[in-house]
Structure 1
Amino acid sequence: MLIISTAIATGEDTTGLVDFDLLMCAPHFIGDGTSLHQSTHELLCIVTSSKSDTELIEELGQAKDWRASLPPAYESRLSGPKSAIGKAAAKVNFLQMQGKEIGGHTFSRQQRGPKTTALIEHAFTKEQTVKILAHCKSNKVQADHVSRMMYTAVNLRSHLSPIDASTYWFLALTYYNIVLPSFLPASPAVFWHRARSAKAQTLRTTTSPYLVSRALQMSKTRGSRARGEPQPPPPAEALAPPAPSAALIGLSLIGNLDRTYVRASYPSSLELQSVTTASRLKPGGMLLLEHTFGEKLWLHLCWDEMGFEDGQVERFWEELKKAVEEYLC
């Protein structure tokens, strides 16, 4: 869906520049954030192109099998275990991973009305961003390792088998949890130790030979749960009840968007000021997003403001910004 705003005169502008907001929307099942940002970049290239409307229409009208551009389901492009023993080992590994996901440290959820999605953002200055990246590097982590201590996604694009379709519109994600003790760090050394622990857990997940098989099993499990199908009971030998596994918050770590929105591709008259990413949430949902753009570190928080105690998320947001400035700047 493309929504285009109409410029409204608000007074004299000595620069001759006009502000526009461009809203791009897509259902998550056809692509991920990488797909949507790349598509937005290409749309901006078309809109600012020096080609005439006639030239663009001719280019669009060229013979093309559009159906061949549609990618197959990502599950069909992932190669899971073939042998019976390999499938059994993968299933055992998946169940073991589920048993290690210990959580339960969550916000107090209180659905006070129909879901109402709120979005707030904060950009650190270029100077602050340089300090943040330098501190992360000196402590042998990246900025996303500092915040990746909760529920987040893994990009599976490098594990997909090649296809003839040229499109980048496909979904290639699976999910995992970072599990860390829930206590306030007594010193910066403890904070950075936990960041390195998050990095180590991430590395074990992304380099595991079972990553693909876990992704396939996770896809089946999440699909079954979303359709409301009855879930298999726990094994009879499980004497103790399972540990709490609810995650504190979801994370979306998109990375450096300056590599996607290549400024040299646009005319000098176009200046991109900011990029915001959000996602549809279920009632009581919350998602923290992080990326760099314009050489700045950006944080976005998207949540159902009717799913939590009044003011609770706003207080968390203010303390989060203070924590970044205290430990990273």
Structure 2
Amino acid sequence: MGRVADVADPVLLTPPASSEDLPAVCGLSRVPSKDGEATYFERKMGDTELSYYLPSRQSGVNDMYLHLGLNAPEHLMSWARVRTVWAILRLRHPLLSAAAQMHDYDDVRFVYRVPDASDDVLRDAEANLEYRAQGKDELIDSYLNGPRTLSNSRLSYLVVSHTEEDPAEAILTPPRTPSPSAETFEPSSSPSEDDARAPTQYDLLICAMHFIGDGMALHTFANDFLGLLGSEQSASDLEAMLRAEWAERWQDKDNDASILPTALEDNMPITWNKLRGAAASVDFEISQQKLVGGQAFPKRKHPERHTIVPTISFPEDRTKVMLKKCKAKGVSISAALFAICNVAWARTSDSSKELPALMYSALNLRPYFTVKRPSPWDSYWFISIGYFNVILPSFVPSDRTRAETTFWHRARSAKEQSARAAKHPLLVSRTQEMAKVRGARARAWGREDDEKENGTWTPPTPSANAVPHREPVLPARAKVPSTALIGLSLLGNLDGMYKHATFPNIKLHTLTTGSRQRHGAMLLFGYTFVGKLWVSLGYDENGFAEGVVDKFWTECLQAIDEYLV
């Protein structure tokens, strides 16, 4: 887990939250309670949520984004229609419109204000929706490197961007006061033939805190959003849907705090006893001792972080060739990308090859949940990821024939290690143990970062630990390095998640995803989308030695051409 390092970034909101919104959540101590006519529900964050929340506070480390480039008729992208769809989904998924409230390092809470009427949901959606006139690169750069978009009172945000040759004609966010009328922004229910024939280029940017969700939530949400937006339902139909869903949840209902999705650890409960607890601790320690990695990109210190995301897509015909070749070799594209990074690093690095390269990736834990939530509170917006590691040798043969054989052997090794992690019989207990460790680290580091900022921090004594002491359960062993080279976010075939046929008049053509990073961070993304293989590398270009990442990225692309095509 990374430390909080982005202290140079200004802690601002873009745009600023309404002053009318802040007192409703900031002065709250106990809920559910009545404050005038407002009702609130809350719950404490779990360890995994805390491990993402605490590092994010100062500059938005791990704040997620999903960019989608699309072509659509203008009437489908009108401000009023987008606002209504955004409102429906915020109603269905309470964490999107909740607030985060910190009382202590181990007491941070989600606070949700119950909407008194469907109009409240619309106003909330409007306050977290913006239209801009920016291209894709500018849109993503401003999110990653500009003032922070999200905050404790804004856990999600939606940006719709549309550029035209004449900036004066570009669609901009309408003024929020007075509230715009439907007639101003909503076209007739029967769009003109010219409008239907001439789709326009738009960019969507869906922004969300990482502690309220993950990649599965983002992509599932985007598909639902596009399905409603591109449906044949009129604006009036969508507004009626919003009213009906608000009534189902809140009209004459006596709900409780269980409306909020539960923490990851509570979705995978274990009945503990002393024997089971001891066995889990032993297994976890053994699994951690096996993580050996001694390869790392050379870093450099720089006062400012600047994240860039070079991205390349391969044409559909070449992608089909790659998929066919990987299948013939008994691996997936995801497993092959571990081997691609392995080969690229071996060709790039001048460091010792004695220690292996350790790479990490995320594991979707939703299939392991044993707690099911009833409708209509079965939201998929919550974080549900664990981590696994792939360890590969850090050298490759110089002989071309042997090098290709080695490449596919390592791709199969990556596949086996990934499958072993996902199918391990003690996966749930390992997840619970890791959550405890990550939560403890986050609290210790969060306190240290705050004390440093306040000028009250004192270095710990040699015998003290930054992380609360964990009693060893195994005999002492010589420590080995466990340095991670790179993280890979392997999203698989996203065309299986995006049901393009349900929004036939919206044509997706581009997808980019990632998050605001800490100093010196790096993450490689790989996925197939609209029939193409996409590979992108998000990294802090100021955080690494000059030219080393450029060389690595070039070697990655060359290795893809060499082995997969």
> TM-score scaled by structure 1?
0.92
**1:75 Cα deviation from its structure 2 partner:** 0.5
Q: Match of 2:526, SS? A: strand
Give me the whole-angstrom Cα distance separating, in 2, the residues matched to 1:192 and 1:7: 45
Q: 1:220, 1:296 → 2: CA distance?
A: 39
Give the structure 2 partner of residue 8 of structure 1.
164
* 1:216 equivalent in alignment to 2:432: yes
The structure 2 residue matched to 1:44, chosen from 211, 221, 226, is 226
- Are positions 1:55 and 2:237 aligned together? yes
Residue 273 (structure 1) shift:
0.7
Question: Aligned residues: percent identity?
Answer: 40
Instruction: State the Cα deviation string for residues 165-211 of structure 1 (Å, max 9, x = none).
Output: 32111211111211111112442111111111111111211111111
Quick check: 1:81–1:213 contact (8 Å CA) kept in 2? no
Of the three residues 353, 364, 368, the one matched with 1:155 is 364
2:325 to 132, 135, 148: 135
Cα deviation for residue 290 of structure 1 reads 0.8
Q: Where does structure 1 differ by over 4 angstroms across 4 or more consecutive aligned residues?
A: 66-69, 233-237
Equivalent of 1:92, from 259, 264, 282? Answer: 282
Matched, 1:264 2:501: yes
Displacement of 1:55 after TM fit? 2.2
The answer on whether the counterparts of 2:299 and 2:520 sit within 8 Å (CA) in structure 1 is yes
- The C-alpha deviation readout for 1:69-121, integer Å capped at 9, x for no partner, is 53111100103352321221111111001101001201001122222111111
Whether contact under 8 Å (2:267, 2:369) holds in the other structure is yes
Which amino acid in the other structure matches residue 228 of structure 2? I
- Residue 129 of structure 1 and its aligned partner are, at CA, apart by 1.2
Higher normalized contact order (CA 8 Å, seq sep 6+, divided by chain length): 1
The answer to whether structure 1 residue 255 and structure 2 residue 487 are counterparts is: no
2:482 match: 245
Distance 1:89 1:61, change over 3 A: same
Structure 2 residue aligned with 1:175: 387
Which residue identity is paired with 1:20? Answer: Y
Aligned pair partner of 1:189 in 390, 405, 408: 405
CA distance in 1, matches of 2:230, 2:219: 17
For residues 216 and 318 of structure 1, the distance between their equivalents in structure 2, rounded to whole angstroms, comes to 39
Distance in 2 of aligned mates of 1:125 and 1:267: 22
CA distance in structure 1 between the partners assigned to 2:259 and 2:324 by the alignment: 42
What's the offset of the Cα at 1:163?
1.6
The alignment yields a C-alpha RMSD, in angstroms, of 2.2
Q: Give the structure with the larger strand fraction.
A: 2
Q: CA deviation at 1:318?
A: 1.1
2:292–2:481 contact (8 Å) kept in structure 1: yes
Secondary structure of 1:8's counterpart equals coil
Aligned residues: 325
Match of 2:516 among 280, 288, 298: 280
For normalisation by structure 2, the TM-score amounts to: 0.55
Larger Rg: 2
- Output the CA distance in 2 between the equivalents of 1:178 and 1:6: 41
Cα distance in 1, alignment partners of residues 556 and 303 from structure 2: 26
Question: Is this contact kept in 2: 1:35–1:168, CA < 8 A?
Answer: yes
- Could you say which residue in structure 2 is the equivalent of 1:65? 249
